[in-house]
Amino acid sequence: MPQRANYEREIIFSILDEGFICHLGLVTDGLPVVIATSYGRIGDHVFIHGSAASRVAKVAKGTPSARIDVCLTVTLLDGLVLARSAFNHSMNYRSVVLYGQASLVVDDEEKLESLRAVSDHIIKGRWDDVRPPTSQELKGTVVLKLPLTAASAKIRRGPPEDNEEDYALPIWAGVIPLDVRASVPIGDPQMDVSTAASVPDYVLNYRRP
Amino acid sequence: MPQRANYEREIIFSILDEGFICHLGLVTDGLPVVIATSYGRIGDHVFIHGSAASRVAKVAKGTPSARIDVCLTVTLLDGLVLARSAFNHSMNYRSVVLYGQASLVVDDEEKLESLRAVSDHIIKGRWDDVRPPTSQELKGTVVLKLPLTAASAKIRRGPPEDNEEDYALPIWAGVIPLDVRASVPIGDPQMDVSTAASVPDYVLNYRRP
């Protein structure tokens, strides 16, 4: 397959920055667990919160300094690759795999900063418009930090690669491009008329970088 | 969060059938690994091939009867949920998590059938149009089989759930729906004119069930 592991920071960063859902793998009682979750990035660290972080925290058993082995995978699917043979069908994608030891963010200021990074990562501009976390909400939020030390990217793009003798077959071959798109936003029915009418630009024109 | 684990077969099947990329977790040398791959379903079994299957085969160390613990997660992202507080932001999604022991498919007939299931799952109708696998290609393809014994679905849908006192805030709240869409197919430049002109309907009108 025309794919190659790539360790360049810019490529890894661009894939991490376009995606916002990762699949986090960890080992509990010797068995694998994979949880989907959102994430953000500040420099060389990825930050994770939500149920995946809580699951890791459970593995850490309340030890704030615990380091938990995780594998974080981000996959951007760019298209279906239709070859002339069943065997050579493939997908176009860009993916990043990170291996490392995740730790809990304990410092309140770092926690607030990392939650802002996750929010900015998913929908830039939203954080400044909403009610910020109270200190109680902040205490109740588990955030994980994973250094970008062992990361690699894999990319497959372009047309199918068929066996030489298959190119003569009269079979349509090519790529069906796929991407994630936003459609018309649905306002919460519990807004008053003027609030409902003031749809922010980051909602109206939502798109990934 | 307004989500609940669901063990009903119909719900689990519908999520598995709409998705076609899973993230497969396994443990190698005590460390977690997560690999994205396509899959198919025949009744109560999920079939996986590609690099993830090869990775599991490596763990199985050539023992055809080996059973390898895996966790398979399928995540369909349906939207971003924008609440009035940072804390109550969420996502609408449907996900399935399967835990179980994957085994290698060794029987040639079952292998062929499962490869067809994976192909049909991704793009119904394609298998009948293409050159089928040779016996050598079949031999070189690793396919995994995972029984749907321990599966659960999680679903979050609908508007944000804010704290009672936050509803009065003049902040736009609601959902940005997201989905995966196909755009205009790109024919392989190496087709002759008449083959290029005969674009199959499953390519022109590609959509998930």
Cα separation, B188 vs A180, whole angstroms: 23
Whether residue A127 and residue B26 make contact (CB cut-off 8 A), yes or no, is no
Dump pLDDT digits (tens) for A37-87: 999 999 999 999 877 778 888 887 767 788 999 999 999 999 999 999 999
Q: Are A181 and B179 contacting, i.e. CB atoms less than 8 angstroms apart?
A: yes
Q: Which residues in chain B have Cβ-Cβ distances shorter than 8 Å to A24?
A: 34
Q: Which of B186, B158, B33 is nearest to A81 (CA)?
A: B186
Q: Which residues in chain B have Cβ-Cβ distances shorter than 8 Å to A40?
A: none
Q: Which residues in chain B have Cβ-Cβ distances shorter than 8 Å to A5?
A: none
CA distance to partner chain A, nearest, from residue B125 (Å): 12
Mean pLDDT of A173-188: 97
Residue B2 pLDDT grade (very low, low, confident, very high; cuts 50, 70, 90): very low
Mean pLDDT of B119-126: 96
Q: Which two tokens stand for residue B208?
A: 């998930």
Residue B4 pLDDT grade (very low, low, confident, very high; cuts 50, 70, 90): low
Whether residue B173 and residue A185 make contact (CB cut-off 8 A), yes or no, is no
Dump pLDDT digits (tens) for A149-180: 899 999 999 999 999 999 999 999 999 999 99
Q: Are B26 and B55 contacting, i.e. CB atoms less than 8 angstroms apart?
A: yes
Burial bucket for residue B50 (CB in 10 Å: 0-12, 13-18, 19+): buried
Global confidence as pTM: 0.94
Mean pLDDT of B169-193: 97
CA distance to partner chain A, nearest, from residue B49 (Å): 11
Which segments of B139-193 are extended strands (E)?
143-147, 150-156, 174-182, 186-187
Residue A2 pLDDT > 60, yes or no? Answer: no
Q: Which two tokens stand for residue A48?
A: 């994770």
Whether residue B203 and residue A24 make contact (CB cut-off 8 A), yes or no, is no
Mean pLDDT of B140-145: 92
Mean pLDDT of A87-98: 96
* CB-nearest partner of B34 from A23, A31, A191: A23
Q: Are A207 and B209 contacting, i.e. CB atoms less than 8 angstroms apart?
A: no
Residue A119 pLDDT > 90, yes or no? Answer: yes
Q: Which residue in chain B has the smallest CA separation from A192?
A: B170
Burial bucket for residue B136 (CB in 10 Å: 0-12, 13-18, 19+): exposed
Give the number of A-B residue pairs with CB atoms closer than 8 Å: 253
CA distance to partner chain B, nearest, from residue A166 (Å): 8
Best of A95, A131, A201, A202 to disrupt the B interface (most B CBs within 10 Å) is A131
The predicted pLDDT at position B198 comes to 95
Mean pLDDT of chain B: 93
Mean pLDDT of A85-94: 96
CA distance to partner chain A, nearest, from residue B92 (Å): 12
Mean pLDDT of B19-30: 95
A39 lies within 8 A of chain B by CB: no
Q: Which two tokens stand for residue B87?
A: 């804390």
Dump pLDDT digits (tens) for A11-34: 999 999 999 999 999 999 999 999
Pairing mode, if any, of strands A186-187 and B143-147? unpaired
A2 lies within 8 A of chain B by CB: no
ipTM, two decimals, is 0.94
CA distance to partner chain A, nearest, from residue B66 (Å): 16
Domains and CATH numbers, chain A: 4-161+175-204 (2.30.110.10)
